Structure 1
Amino acid sequence: MGFYRNVGDVPPKRHTQHRRPDGTLYYEELMGEEGFSSDSSLLYHAGVPSAIVDATPWDPGDQSLTDNRPLLPRHLRLHDLGTPDWKSVDVVTGRRLVLGNADVRISYVVARETSPLYRNAVGDEVVYLESGSAIVETVFGALHVVQGDYVVLPRATTHRWVPSGSEPLRAYAIEASSHIAPPKRYLSRYGQLLEHAPYCERDLHGPGAPLLVEQADVEVLVKHRGGPDGITGTRYVVPTHPFDVVGWDGCLYPYTFNVADFEPITGRVHQPPPAHQVFEGSGFVVCNFVPRKVDYHPLAVPVPYYHANVDSDEVMFYCGGDYEARKGSGIGQGSISLHPGGHSHGPQPGAVERALGAESFDELAVMVDTFRPLALGEGGRACEDPSYAWSWAGRGSPL
């Protein structure tokens, strides 16, 4: 990020003695990226951050993937994944894998329970909260999360989700095998968000004061590489609570960004998806489509032109408003469309004509474009609408 923060009690000079009131030392931990060559933060713990007293296998759920074969555009109804027992489900262990490849995995969960302490050692996470509110407690401090927030969690950040309202948490989790950051074209060479960026540092909300929890023999779930599907887990027991940090400083930490703070880039004619980009990871990008004024050329066609995803698979999560280009397809709130590379796609029949003369669109969607093919996870296979692929032709499924 390159956006420095200093929270709590830290010494005036890094890598120097930092003592408690009784004269004993705090334990300094560097949390950094790319082998000491990128962003990092220094955290000061009351206990030894490496200490463990037990370790057992933990099963993070079905991580298997099935190829998109035959190659089809697909419609997945994520709201069908909510179960009657959602009040006993949490945002971490209740996730159901929808789509994935070697670079990114997309999951969905409807939950109400407080999650276990958890860290993802595979890569960074961005979790979009479709509904509900929560406190995300982290080793850096607490994040207050509301509907429409992206929660950006750097790799190996120990945290837990604590629901804070009566509404269920509907969470759309984008889990990378890399780091996730703002697009490079939005940043100065020193890491500041530039004037042409659709958001700025004021829109990013980091954690507040340290949590300072005192507790012994605490369980932490860790998702990491391994196992037959490439992802597995371990349950650690640690002798002191991970939230024993008295202070930290640096440029690597979790934060929230609300989709309502994204200022859309518009033009006289239709703008391509990169104009809507909000984050990027290795092998994928994240965009959001928000309510906005649309193209103002007198002969403009406001909905997207038909396009072939030559290099990417396109995943659109429809999470609000009325998505004009998909009317008549069966897609609605809580839907995902998957348009794979090798298949030309675009507006549903009649959408172009209906959109002519429109001045604004009231739509809200989160898009993930990947540069390797996506496969279907257990959750995706469970909630597919089998008629979607044939909707442009106006025919039923031949299968």
Structure 2
Amino acid sequence: MPYYRITGDVPPKRHTQHRGPDDRLRYEELMGEEGFSSDSSLLYHRHIPSAVVAAEPWDLPSQELSPNHPLLPRHLRTHDLVAGDEWRERDIVTGRRLLLGNAQVRIAYAVAGRPSPLYRNAEGDECVYVESGEGVVETVFGMLPFRQGDYVVIPRATTHRWVPQGSEPVLTFIIESSSHITPARSYLSKRGQLLEHAPYCERDLHGPTEPVRAEGENVDVYVKHRGPTGAAGTRYTYAHHPFDVVGWDGCLYPYTFNIADFEPITGRIHQPPPAHQVFEGEGFVICNFVPRKVDYHPLAVPVPYYHSNVDSDEVMFYCGGNYEARKGSGIGQGSISLHPGGHAHGPQPGAVERSLGTEFFDELAVMVDTFRPLLLGEAATACEDDGYAWTWAAPLQEQDR
């Protein structure tokens, strides 16, 4: 994150002795990006944070990917991935299912009703969009409440666990990066402040406020990390609970941002997707489309024009409202569309004509544009609508039903 926070008990000078009320030394841990040359935070533990007493392999959920061949647009119905009350026995870490991915980003979906194990992604940052439900993410930095519409951004190697609350399942759209995820660079000053033209500001970003301060011995942590042929998993057993932090400070920490706090950028004619950008990582960007007034030129066409993203694959997760451009395609709440580079796409037949004169769109969607082709995970095959690719060619009267 581009700005400084301090939580709990820290010494007045970094890298100096810090003692508790019992006069015992606290153990300082630096979490830093890009070696020692980028954002970092200093955490102060009651126990040695590297004290591991056991380790064994952890079999990750399926990471297999297959080519999108023949090259087709795809429609994935994520709500079909969990039947009945299965969600009550699932968690957001071990229950996530891989939909799409490449070497730079992986997109998964999880429906959960129980707490996850302690988890650390050592491959890259995670950005998790909460489609519905609420709870708290317990992290080594402290407690991070989440609710419907939140993006939860978790830096690489942050130990955490997801704890759903309430009687309803937590539905999550998960973006796992091989790099760091940051606000769009075009929104930031050269020193990292969000600028006046940005559609959100620091007041909209919410970090942990208090350390968890958990106790315990021989505590398991599930770690996803780089392996010899791709992602691998290890389950460590630590001598002491990793949430023994008494305080921390710095510019690297998890935070939430709610999609309702995004202020849409609009104009007289249709605005391209970069106007809707929220975050970015190496090889991809994250955008969102929120309820907004639309184009006000007297001859404006409010829905998107047909376009060929020659350098990117476009993933759209439909998470609320009524997406006018897709009427008649079968897309609904929880749907994901994949429009690959090299394939022209746009509104369904009849959508352009229906949109003329429209002043407001009540739609909610999260988009991921990647700059390398996306491959298909096992969950994509399990929930695909096989007829989607042909919906633009269907007779107009069928589209209007």
TM-score (norm 2): 0.97
Determine the C-alpha separation between the residues in 2 that align with 1:2 and 1:377: 34
Determine the C-alpha separation between the residues in 1 that align with 2:326 and 2:82: 23
Which residue of the partner structure matches residue 182 of structure 1? 183
Which residue of the partner structure matches residue 203 of structure 2? 202
- Size of the aligned set, in residue pairs, is 395
1:37 Cα deviation after fit = 0.9
Instruction: Please give the residue correspondences for 1:287-298 in structure 2 after superposition, counting only pairs within 5 Å.
Output: 287-298=287-298
Instruction: Please give the residue correspondences for 1:151-300 in structure 2 after superposition, counting only pairs within 5 Å.
Output: 151-226=152-227, 228=229, 230-300=230-300
Determine the C-alpha separation between the residues in 2 that align with 1:78 and 1:126: 18
Secondary structure of the residue aligned to 2:186 is helix
Secondary structure of the residue aligned to 1:345 is coil
Amino acid across the alignment from 2:202: E
Determine the C-alpha separation between the residues in 1 that align with 2:367 and 2:22: 52
Secondary structure of the residue aligned to 2:88 is helix
Determine the C-alpha separation between the residues in 2 that align with 1:200 and 1:21: 38
Secondary structure of the residue aligned to 2:52 is coil
1:140 has 2:141 as partner: yes
Which residue of the partner structure matches residue 305 of structure 1? 305
1:83 has 2:83 as partner: yes
Determine the C-alpha separation between the residues in 1 that align with 2:152 and 2:384: 27
1:111 Cα deviation after fit = 0.8
Determine the C-alpha separation between the residues in 1 that align with 2:24 and 2:363: 56
CA deviation string 1:133-168 (max 9, x = no partner): 011000000011000000000000000011111110
Determine the C-alpha separation between the residues in 1 that align with 2:26 and 2:134: 34
1:202 Cα deviation after fit = 0.5
Determine the C-alpha separation between the residues in 2 that align with 1:227 and 1:127: 27
CA deviation string 1:48-74 (max 9, x = no partner): 111100000001111000100000000
Secondary structure of the residue aligned to 1:222 is strand
Determine the C-alpha separation between the residues in 2 that align with 1:214 and 1:375: 42
1:347 has 2:313 as partner: no
Which residue of the partner structure matches residue 370 of structure 2? 370
Amino acid across the alignment from 2:107: I
Tell me the percent identity: 75
Determine the C-alpha separation between the residues in 2 that align with 1:375 and 1:119: 24
Which residue of the partner structure matches residue 7 of structure 2? 7
CA deviation string 1:172-204 (max 9, x = no partner): 110000000001110111111000000000000
Secondary structure of the residue aligned to 1:317 is strand
Which residue of the partner structure matches residue 24 of structure 1? 24
Determine the C-alpha separation between the residues in 2 that align with 1:272 and 1:40: 34
Secondary structure of the residue aligned to 2:392 is coil
Amino acid across the alignment from 1:341: G
Secondary structure of the residue aligned to 1:325 is helix
Determine the C-alpha separation between the residues in 2 that align with 1:256 and 1:286: 15
| Between 143-152 and 387-396, the greater mean CA deviation after superposition | 387-396
Which residue of the partner structure matches residue 394 of structure 1? 394
Determine the C-alpha separation between the residues in 1 that align with 2:254 and 2:51: 23
Instruction: Please give the residue correspondences for 1:26-175 in structure 2 after superposition, counting only pairs within 5 Å.
Output: 26-84=26-84, 85-175=86-176
Determine the C-alpha separation between the residues in 2 that align with 1:251 and 1:83: 41
Q: Which runs of 4+ in 1 moved over 3 A?
A: none
Amino acid across the alignment from 2:136: I
Determine the C-alpha separation between the residues in 2 that align with 1:345 and 1:160: 39
1:227 Cα deviation after fit = 5.3
Which residue of the partner structure matches residue 385 of structure 2? 385
Determine the C-alpha separation between the residues in 2 that align with 1:135 and 1:78: 23
CA deviation string 1:335-362 (max 9, x = no partner): 0000000000000000000000000100
Determine the C-alpha separation between the residues in 1 that align with 2:163 and 2:341: 38
Which residue of the partner structure matches residue 356 of structure 1? 356
1:226 Cα deviation after fit = 1.2
CA deviation string 1:60-97 (max 9, x = no partner): 11100010000000000000011332100001100000
Determine the C-alpha separation between the residues in 2 that align with 1:227 and 1:55: 18
Determine the C-alpha separation between the residues in 2 that align with 1:301 and 1:344: 18
Determine the C-alpha separation between the residues in 2 that align with 1:164 and 1:380: 28
Amino acid across the alignment from 1:144: P
Which residue of the partner structure matches residue 330 of structure 2? 330
TM-score (norm 1): 0.98
1:208 Cα deviation after fit = 1.2
Query: Any stretches of 5+ residues in structure 1 without a counterpart?
Result: none
Determine the C-alpha separation between the residues in 2 that align with 1:202 and 1:376: 37
Secondary structure of the residue aligned to 1:373 is coil
CA deviation string 1:253-272 (max 9, x = no partner): 00000000000000000000
Determine the C-alpha separation between the residues in 2 that align with 1:172 and 1:47: 35
Secondary structure of the residue aligned to 1:220 is strand
Amino acid across the alignment from 1:206: G
1:210 Cα deviation after fit = 0.7
